[in-house]
Structure formats: structure tokens, C-alpha cells
Structure 1
């Protein structure tokens, strides 16, 4: 444990030394007589009667021997402070132990309170669930009762309306009742008998049977109307289903027709390939191949977009396209000639000579193309 530094003590005055006549400083080997003699030359040593702590508190400059007293005083002071610290530590330990016990007691009390609170919360939760279930049951019952009340009020309204109608009908037929009562009063007593042998009973029974028959007929009419409505709905659904099936059948038929056309084209191509493989010579095959290449080249040069893509065209379609292209060019040439005739003579002559040359060349080319197309068509027909 570290020693605490002592505080600086202020000077409280000088020390009061008490000089007493004590025994002289003699050697132990001296005799007692010599000890008591010659007291005149003896120097008395001042004796400090104060304690070391008081000496140090006075702040007197001491010798080296007094340093031991100073350290002893410091050690005593430190021991005192250590004892005080130990006492304080012991008291603080006791206080902490007491506080710990109090805290343990409080913790135990808190746990008990927490357990009680949890139990209270659980009981409240159970009560809340019960109350909620009761509320839901009561709410459902209230809704049912409310619906019953609404239904009963609706029935009451209907009954009141029926009562009002019957009341109005009674007031309406009151005059007839009065008339009948007056008529009964005027009739003889034989007609007033209300027994089974009275004359009015057959009429009443006949009226009752007719009214019952009328009600039955009205019920049958209502059933028949419902059946007619059901039949009309079924007929409408059947018509819609028939239309849908018809459309689907038409779609399937068109798809089958397109497949049939494609199969026919494939069959023709297969027959041509078969004939070429079976009976045709190499020269004929080369000639036909060159003709097909020429037709394809002409079709590429004379392509018309209205005929569709060139890859999907047949040979006859390509030839028809080339023919139409040549006829269009010839028609354009005729129109150009007619327009050029209205011009000047020199221009017309030069234009006519040029056009004649071009026309002759084009006619020769068109004739050769027409001849080649006719040959190809004839060969294709023979091959077909």
C-alpha cells in the first residue's frame, strides 16, 4: 500500500525545552563517589520532553538522529491512515454485504412480482380471449338477430301492404255484400237455409273448385314459362356452340386444304424427280436444268412484287410473271411512241428510228423469251 505524503505543518512556535538536573554523564566504570563529586563543571544536556510527532509538527531543523523519529512519525501516521482505511474498507465491505443482501432480497421480490405480473398477464390474456370469443359469438348472434329483424320488418311491410290491399278490396266489395244481404232479406225463407240442402251450396262448391283449378292452372303456367325460358337459354347456348364448332370446322378444313395443295405440289415434284431419275438422259436433264435456270434468271430480272416472294413461286407462276412484265413493257413502248409522234418531225424521225431499232431488238428478245417459255411450258406439260 502506497504511503500518503504528509501535509506541510506550519510553525506553531518554538519548542520549549525543559532542562532538569539529571544524573551526570558518567562512565559506568566510575565509582559512585566520583559520580556525585565535581558537579561544578558538568554541562547539562537539554532533554526534549515532547513526542516525536509534536517535534516534527513544530518544523524544527533536526539532526540526522531525529530523521529516524521523523520516519517513525510518518510510519505511525501511515499506520493510522492504513488502520482508518482498513476500518473504512471493512465498513464499506459490511455495507456492500448488507447492500448485496438487500439487493438479493429486492431481486427476489422483483422475481416474485414479475412472476405474479406474468401470471396476471396470462390470466388477463385468457380473460381477453374469453371476452373476445364471447364478443364474436355475441356479434354473430347480433348479426343473425339483425337479419331476422330485417326479414321480419320486410314481412311486416309486405303484410301491411297486403292488409291495405285487402282493406281496399273489402271497401270496394262492400257494396256487393250489402246488395247480397239485402237480396237475402228479400228472398223467401226456403232460400235462406244455409245447410247442405240449400240451393246456394252447389254454386259455392263449384266456385271453390273453379278457383282451385284456376290456381293450379296458374302454377302450371308459371312452370311452363320457366321451362320455356330454360329451353330458350339452352337453345341460345347450343346455337353459340354450333357457331363455334362451325368456325373450328372451317378452320380445320382450310388447314387441310392447304395441306392438300402442298401435298399435291410435293407429289408433282416427286413425279418429276422420279421421271428424271428413271427415263431421262443426261442431256435432257441438263437442258431442263438450263431452262429452269433461264426461267429463274428471267424471273429475277422481271420480278413483280404482287406475285409474292420469289422462292415460293412455281415455274408456271414465274413464266406468267415474265409474260406480264414483257406485255407491260410493250404497252409502255406503244404509249411512248404515241407521245413522241406529236413532237417535231426531226425528233420524231430520230426517235422513231431509234425506237424501231430498240423495238426490233426487244421484239426479238421477247419472241425468243416467249418461245423459250412456250417450250418450257410444253415440256412441263409433257413431263406432267
Structure 2
């Protein structure tokens, strides 16, 4: 390596040789003013001024060899780490390839499983639909069977009720049969009415009673229908009455509300009326006081040409008072004017004061 091509030797501040300027060795044996004169006779110590590169020029080859070895060892270490890293990457790639193969195999297995599961789900769905359809069919059949069973049970109940009714009727009319049989047993063998002639009137009477019973049942049914219609009419009337009652109660509540509002309004009007009456009473008292004052003033300011005081109205009294006040004011102005004019005349006619012989002032003569 060329020494000139290594910038580390030129720029490294640690390899720079720093030389300080030492002070001159001067013995102080004389005054300061004589030192400058003898400075040229002082012997200076030589100082090394060569650069650091010059000083290290002898050991450059040793330093370069060391640096090269050091760099080579660093490169070898880097290569070793690189090889280790490359081997590790290769191992990682192998592991990744193995994992990728395993993952692809798992994905393939998962797809097969998913396909089998979908097929299984479709089969189950078909089975479910088939079972649901069969269930709906059986349920409809069961409903039909239940309806038939309910109808048959109802018919059975009707038949049992009919049988019980007939049994009760047989038990009811059995006494008549026994009576007839006993009557037939008691009759002689050669009785004229023995045979059908005795039973025929009874049968006819039964038929008559049966017809009467049917008529009565029809009348009862007609009366029952009429009673039901009457009850329905009464129920409708009751509903109408309840509706009318509700409407009447609602209207009554509204009227009650209006009444309460009117009462409240009347209370407010009464309060306002009382307040107004109080104000009116005060105004009346004030007006009465004013009228009394006007009357008193009219008595003091009475003028004869207005007539009698008792016959005057309030406006006439006030006009009279006004006229009286105007006359008094005019009279006062005239009197003031006359007093002022007489004072001015007295001042003009009064002579000046002259001193007497004794030196005292004599009083002026007053005009008569």
C-alpha cells in the first residue's frame, strides 16, 4: 500500500505532533527597558519543526502490514459469519420447503375432508327434507285421524246420550206398561173391550198429548226466540245507555271544567271590580273634596252678576272664581303700577338736601 494513499496518517489528530513555543530563558538581572536591546544576544534552543508524517515515515511499512492483517482477519470473520448465515438461510429454506409441502398436503387433505363433509351435508339435507316431508305427511294424516276420532267420539257421546235418554223414557213409561199389564191380567177372559179396543183410546190419548206437547214446545221455542230478541234489544239499549252515559259524563266533565274556569274568571273579575270600586271610591271622595273646595272658593269669590250661589253649577262657580282671580290679579297689577309711578313722581319732585348754617342737613318738604 502506498503511504501517500492512506488518508488516516494525514488526518488522524492523535498522530499529530504538537510543539509548544517555549518561553525564552532570560535571567532577570536588568531593567525591562534594557531587555529589548540585549535580545539579539540571547541563544535560542532549536525546536523540531518536521511534520508528523515525516516522523512516521520510517514505520509506515510496519503499520500497513498490521492494518492489512487486521482487515484480513475482519474479512475472514465476516466471511465466516456470512457462510454461517448462508447455511442458516439454506436450513431455513429447507425447513420452509418442508413446511410448505406439509401445508400443501394439509390443504389437500382439508379440501378432501371439506368435499366429503359437503357431500355428507348434502346427503343429510336430502334425508332431512325427506324426513320433514314424511313428518308433514304423517302429521296431516294424524290431524285427519284426530278429526275423524273427534267426530266419532262426538257421535258416540250423542248416541250414548240418546241411549240414556231412551232408557230414561223406558224407565219412565214402564210403570204405565206394568199398570196396563196388571189391568189386562185382572180383566175377565170374556170382556168385551178386551184386546185392541182398550189400548186404542190410550194410544189416541197419547197421540193427542204428543200433538199438544209439540204445540207447546213450538210456542215455547217461539217465546224463547222472542225473549232472546227482547234480551238482545235490551242489551243494545243497555249499551246505548252506557254510551250515552259516558258521553253525558264526558260532556258533564267538560261543562264542569268550563264552570270552574268561569268561577275562576268571576273571582278575578270580582277582585278587579273590588279594586276598581276602591279606586272609584277614592276618586269620588277626591271629587267631593274638590267640589267642596270649589264651593268654598265660590263663596269667597262671589260676584253678584252670576246670580244666586245655590243655583249655580260647578262650571259657573269655576268661571266666577276664574273671573274673580283675574280681576284681583288685574287690580294688583294696576296698584303695583300706580305705586311705581307715584314713587317715580316723588323722586322727580323732591329737592336736593342743602347744608344749614349750623352744618346739619335739613329734611326735604314732603308733598301733600
If the length of structure 1 is used for normalisation, what is the TM-score? 0.35
TM-score (normalizing by structure 2): 0.36
Structure with greater contact order relative to length (CA < 8 Å, sep ≥ 6): 1
